[in-house]
Amino acid sequence: MLDHPLNSLGFAKPPSETRVVVAMSGGVDSSVVAAQLKEEGYDVVGVTLQLYDHGAALAKKGACCAGRDIHDARRVAETMGFPHYVLDYENTFREAVIEEFADAYLAGATPVPCIRCNERVKFKDLLATAKDLEADCMATGHYIQRMQGVTGPELHCAADANRDQSYFLFSTTPEQLDYLRFPLGHLASKAETRALASKYGLPVADKPDSQDICFVPNGNYAAVIEKLRPGAAEPGEIVDLEGRVLGTHRGVIHYTIGQRKGLGIGGLGDPVYVVRLDPDSRRVIVGPKEALSTRIVPVREVNWLGDTPFDSRAEWHVNVKVRSTRPPRPAVIRPISATEAEVELLNPEDGVSAGQACVFYAPEGSRILGGGWIWRGR
């Protein structure tokens, strides 16, 4: 008897015998993934996570995993005829993501909670749940590609550079990548996704994309920090690089590295930017734009997706992103250990901030080689 040819998810059996858990946020992307796999004949199980107390966000459009989104995910499952479950992960999400977000801001960093959510909740606890459900794999609506390489699955940028989510998925481990599938990564544009949603008659075909961090309504980070850490927004001094007091501020948590507007210290002649935050002394340090320029970036918690061990070389010549909105730029990574390194940017960048990710890309092609978390160093 001949072996069955590989199906579209890479398994040597019919789609009907292949169970796939789809992580459904209630948005159009994950809804299309679930609908497409169901139409292809897979044994689809939809799972939506309730990540936080969504009472205040029920009417909030564009907030992932709020009450409305759970309802929308359920409607998609009913439309396509597959089972759907809602799992309460509020405590896990608060402990693994929200608490660290608050602490990082209080320490003067600029955290990226969406990465931590993927790393600590969706690709950890939810992935374990998918295995408990005896699924062969878990699929998501992320715009990123998984390709089979010489040594195993590789992570690659999405075909549509405008939708690419590689910055937010750098911490995906090889073991997780083996189990995950990203059916939208090859699409040329979001318009194709919406066209598929219309084709399947999904009720979310015209739903707007999410914009904010799910637990930060209206993008007001400081208000969330003050709620989580009462008294956190203590006023202090705004000083220049020499320590001269230029004014006062209403709390370090209201400021980010590179900020120019809203400082309230006009009349200086040349524009000034936030170049450093010192929460211990409650000081916001400002200076000229050139003071923002950074060449050496310390990183830790490195997740390496290359074919040979990270610390097997003294240097890696790669491209890196130090913010999600910037293109990859040439750099040299010098490993200190298997999980820590110094990154030298060949061309200095402005506004590099502790708490952001530094993501590594192959100098040619679309492969993602991993990344690490930027910190202030020793």
pLDDT in tens, 186-215: 999 999 999 999 999 999 999 988 776 788
pLDDT at 267 over 90: no
Question: 117, 137, 157, 358: which is the annotated catalytic residue?
Answer: 117
> What pLDDT sits at residue 66?
55
Under 8 Å between Cβ of 238 and 245: yes
36 phi and psi, to 5 degrees?
Answer: -65, -45
Among 275, 281, 272, residue whose Cα is nearest residue 236? 281
Highest mean pLDDT of the ranges 97-106, 186-195, 224-233, 251-260: 186-195
Under 8 Å between Cβ of 38 and 24: no
29 annotated binding-site participant? yes
Mean of pLDDT values over 349-366: 94
24 annotated binding-site participant? yes
Under 8 Å between Cβ of 319 and 358: no
Which percentage of the chain shows pLDDT scores above 90? 74
Which tokens belong to 133?
A: 């459900």
23 annotated binding-site participant? yes
Say which residue the tokens 């579209």 belong to.
Answer: 8
Which tokens belong to 46?
A: 């939809």
Strand ranges (E), 68-225 = 84-88, 137-139, 144-148, 153-157, 180-181
Full DSSP string of 5-46: PP-TTS-SS-GGG-EEEEE--SSHHHHHHHHHHHHTT-EEEE
Give residues with Cβ within 8 angstroms of 280, minimum separation 6. Answer: none
25 annotated binding-site participant? yes
Give residues with Cβ within 8 angstroms of 146, minimum separation 6. Answer: 153, 154, 155, 156, 177, 180, 181, 182, 185
| Three-state helix/strand/coil letters over 103-134 | HHHHCCCCCCHHHHHHHHHHHHHHHHHHHHCC
As a whole number, the mean pLDDT across the chain is 91
Among 218, 253, 350, 246, residue whose Cα is nearest residue 295? 350
Question: 65, 114, 137, 214: which is the annotated catalytic residue?
Answer: 214
49 annotated binding-site participant? yes
pLDDT at 274 over 80: yes
Q: In what order do the strands lie in the sheet with 245-249?
A: 245-249, 236-239, 283-287, 273-278
Mean of pLDDT values over 155-160: 98
26 annotated binding-site participant? yes
Q: Is 117 a catalytic residue?
A: yes
- The predicted model scores a pTM of 0.91
